[in-house]
Amino acid sequence: MTDRKEQTTHFGYRDVPVDEKASLVRGVFDSVAERYDVMNDLMSLGVHRFWKRHFVATAGVRTGQDVLDLAGGTGDIAALLSPRVGGSGQVLLTDINAAMLGVGRRRLEDRGLVGNIQYALADAESLPFAGRRFDAVTIAFGLRNVTDKPAALKEMLRVLRPGGRLHILEFSQVRAEPLRKLYDGYSFGLLPFLGRHVAGDPDSYQYLAESIRRHPPQKELAAMMREAGFTRVTYRNLSGGIVAIHRGSRG
């Protein structure tokens, strides 16, 4: 058996020891946390807000439900979920990164979103929650940063109640070749430029662009979800496949 310390995984286009990736990803988000929302608006021309609204609006989350929002970062998804679960439900906003979680908590409290949102530091690969606890699990733009995606998917399945749904919003594979070439030029040209001049950190945004390319494309991720035990697995492309929404159920 290969020792975990000898195993490698990708960090963008670099191969790094498996045990080092989480700390490297944490360093990226420690660096970008305070400017993350500004950069998202600049990078997507504000379209990420449409993607997130559509993601939550089509998730079928209802009043009284308990929802686990993984890699919730600065709180965009939790803010959209909060009015949907109402006072009798709860959103548990989690992230592996304390800086991102802190920014998210301040933003939501400043907006008066309190009462039905709780917070926790949590690693998606080893969730500190009881099995069958949540009606839904959401993860938006976070799965590609997880080291062991199959392990994380199995954990998401474990904490879902029977009939509960997993909802994933993530960058994916652009379908049309002309759009793909344009998108590649944008990602590897403009993103590091904006990272340098707006966030003062071109390397982190270079990693974010590379991480998108290393993330499993639509059909591969759907197969991984089925392998983890999810049923009724579907996906839908948005913006030509720049992002995709994947969903699956616990039987």
Considering Cα of 13, then 18, then 20, then 26, what sign does the dihedral take? positive
Mean pLDDT per block of 10 residues along the chain (251 residues) reads 61 73 69 66 80 97 98 94 98 94 94 96 96 98 92 98 97 84 76 71 74 90 98 97 96 92
* One-character DSSP codes across 199-245: IS-HHHHHHHHHHHHHS--HHHHHHHHHHHT-EEEEEEEEGGGTEEE
The model's pTM is 0.87
DSSP class of 119: E
Q: Which helix (H) or strand (E) holds 246?
A: strand 243-249
Question: What does the pLDDT read at residue 172?
Answer: 92
Question: What does the pLDDT read at residue 13?
Answer: 62
Question: What does the pLDDT read at residue 50?
Answer: 95
Question: What does the pLDDT read at residue 199?
Answer: 63
Yes or no: say if 96 and 123 are a contact pair by the CB < 8 Å rule.
Answer: yes
- Which amino acid, residue 144? R
Question: What does the pLDDT read at residue 133?
Answer: 98
| 16-22 LR contacts (CB < 8 Å, sep 24+) | 18/147, 18/148, 21/147, 22/96, 22/123, 22/147
C-alpha torsion angle, residues 138, 140, 142, 144 (rounded to 10)? 110
Superfamily of domain 4-26+45-172+216-249: Vaccinia Virus protein VP39 (3.40.50.150)
Yes or no: say if 249 and 163 are a contact pair by the CB < 8 Å rule.
Answer: yes
* Domain segments of the chain as ranges: 4-26+45-172+216-249
Angle at 148 between CA 144 and CA 151, to 5 degrees: 115
Question: What does the pLDDT read at residue 158?
Answer: 98
CA distance 16 to 13: 10
CA distance 241 to 239: 6
Question: What does the pLDDT read at residue 75?
Answer: 95
